[in-house]
Amino acid sequence: MDHFLYRDGVLYAEDVPVAEIAAQVGTPFYVYSSATLLRHFRLFDEALAGMDHLVCFAMKSLSNQAILHLLAEAGAGMDVVSGGEYARAVAAGVPSDRIVFSGVGKTRIEMRQALQGGIRQFNVESEPEMHALSAVAVELGKIAPITIRVNPDVDAKTHAKIATGKSENKFGVPISRAREVYALAASLPGLEVIGIDVHIGSQLTDLAPFEAAYLKVAELTEQLRADGHTIKRLDLGGGLGIPYQQINEAPPSPQDYGALIKRTVGHLGCEIEIEPGRLISGNAGLMVSKVIYVKDGADRQFLIIDGAMNDLIRPAMYDAHHDIVPVVQPAPGADQATYDIVGPICESGDTFAKGRSMAQVGPDDLVAFRSAGAYGAVMASEYNSRPLIPEVLVHRDQFAVIRARPTFDEMIARDIIPVWV
């Protein structure tokens, strides 16, 4: 459920007509619903009730300061994957003991930054990383709390680019070698082993791969404890999928997921951490765009809109589907049309949908991409010198621009011409 619904024939974001935002900020833009963000965060929080737990928002899915602040106020921690994300989390007021550092290629600079600023734990992914982190910690006179990310060799059955839990993926240490790697960690002076981490992929629409992975983690917990390690925290990653099509899709709910966690690892007495991104932010955002032209091709109609692949790259990069709906609700029985929906960029990859049936629209009509809150704005670029599009946050009948569209001058001013050119 989200808070983007038709009311009196027009699309609303909570209690604000989407067209009113478009009139004020111009198109294209992203708009997020605070009620949806908070609702999704709380669903996870409640699903783990009764267990000692922390829900760390995977902020790579949506990292605007306003969003981080909103979720942190509600009690969320943050899962960060770069020094930039760490800085963003701290700037948004997230307490450092609620920040978890993930990622396969942390640099020593990033390690130093997080150790000095404070960190809940590092999720370490390799032996070379362990050596580096231990050395940095010793240098600073600190001890780095760590979990080790294990790769359980489980097929997440999701898009190849976002599957991370198979042995051929670059992530984590093979679970078969975990005991040896934990032994090494225990021997390094700058590290304190506190738990296990696992994350098998994104947009999982079935609980079975989670179950397979978490059962392996449960077994490993007991083995590692028998080996003398302290395993008091399990970071179970993110990855729960969302419905991108309103019809025919019903991925498992956070409640089902929480019940699965209790069933598989609940008996171990560990503190549970999860790192959902997409499920919190995905359906909390729209990208709103305007039709420029309707063009007749040889055998099809093109709907050319002012949003493009640089603004929302998921269709081009992951063959992702977004429902695209007119902002003015089509009357019952309104004429339908079939479009290839495309942006203005000179690449055929700049295609959002092919052969999409929808109510007929015309030039200057607004269309909204649903489920665009996650991996939308954060993956945007200024390709074709199209300025990053604004982000807007709605709360009931109020809305605020939370990132403004740069002017052309601001965009150009970031470049520097050396005197010798």
Ligand X SMILES: *Cc1c(COP(=O)(O)O)cnc(C)c1O
Active-site annotation, residues: 346
Q: Which residue number, 254 or 343, has a Cβ lying nearer to ligand X? A: 254
Nearest approach in angstroms of CB 171 to ligand X is: 8
Give the position of tokens 């001890």.
143
Residue 258 in contact with ligand X, rule: CB under 6 A: no
Burial 124-160 (b: 16+ CB within 10 A, else e): bbbbebbebbbebbeeeeeebbbbbbbbbbbebebee
Nearest approach in angstroms of CB 10 to ligand X is: 31
- d(CA 73, CA 65) in angstroms, rounded, equals 12
Q: Which residue number, 165 or 307, has a Cβ lying nearer to ligand X? A: 165
Residue 106 in contact with ligand X, rule: CB under 6 A: no
Give the one residue of 237, 307, 343, 376 binding ligand X; rule: CB under 6 A: 237
Sign of CA dihedral 224, 230, 232, 233: negative
Per-residue contact flags (x/-) with ligand X for residues 371 to 390, judged by CB under 6 A: ---x----------------
Q: What residues from 188 to 207 belong to the interface with ligand X (CB under 6 A)? A: 199, 202-203
The residue among 143, 147, 145 whose CA lies nearest residue 178 is 147
Q: Which residue number, 276 or 307, has a Cβ lying nearer to ligand X? A: 276
Give the one residue of 14, 275, 311, 391 binding ligand X; rule: CB under 6 A: 275
- d(CA 167, CA 214) in angstroms, rounded, equals 16
Using the rule CB under 6 A, give the single segment among 34-42, 213-221, 236-244, 364-372 that binds ligand X: 236-244
Other CB atoms closer than 10 Å to residue 373's CB: what's the count? 31
**Whole-Å CA distances, 352 to 179, 307, 308, 309, 324:** 46, 9, 8, 8, 9
Other CB atoms closer than 10 Å to residue 75's CB: what's the count? 12
- d(CA 246, CA 156) in angstroms, rounded, equals 22
Give the one residue of 98, 278, 314, 386 binding ligand X; rule: CB under 6 A: 278
Q: Which residue number, 92 or 236, has a Cβ lying nearer to ligand X? A: 236
Q: What residues from 30 to 69 belong to the interface with ligand X (CB under 6 A)? A: 58, 60-61
Residue 239 in contact with ligand X, rule: CB under 6 A: yes
Residue 277 in contact with ligand X, rule: CB under 6 A: yes
| Burial of 89 (C-beta count, 10 Å sphere; 0-12/13-18/19+) | buried
Sign of CA dihedral 293, 296, 302, 308: negative
Per-residue contact flags (x/-) with ligand X for residues 336 to 365, judged by CB under 6 A: ------------------------------
List the structure tokens of 104.
């396969």
Q: Which residue number, 321 or 405, has a Cβ lying nearer to ligand X? A: 321
Q: Which residue number, 251 or 387, has a Cβ lying nearer to ligand X? A: 251
Please report, as ranges, the residues that interact with ligand X according to CB under 6 A. Answer: 58, 60-61, 79, 102, 199, 202-203, 237-239, 275-279, 374
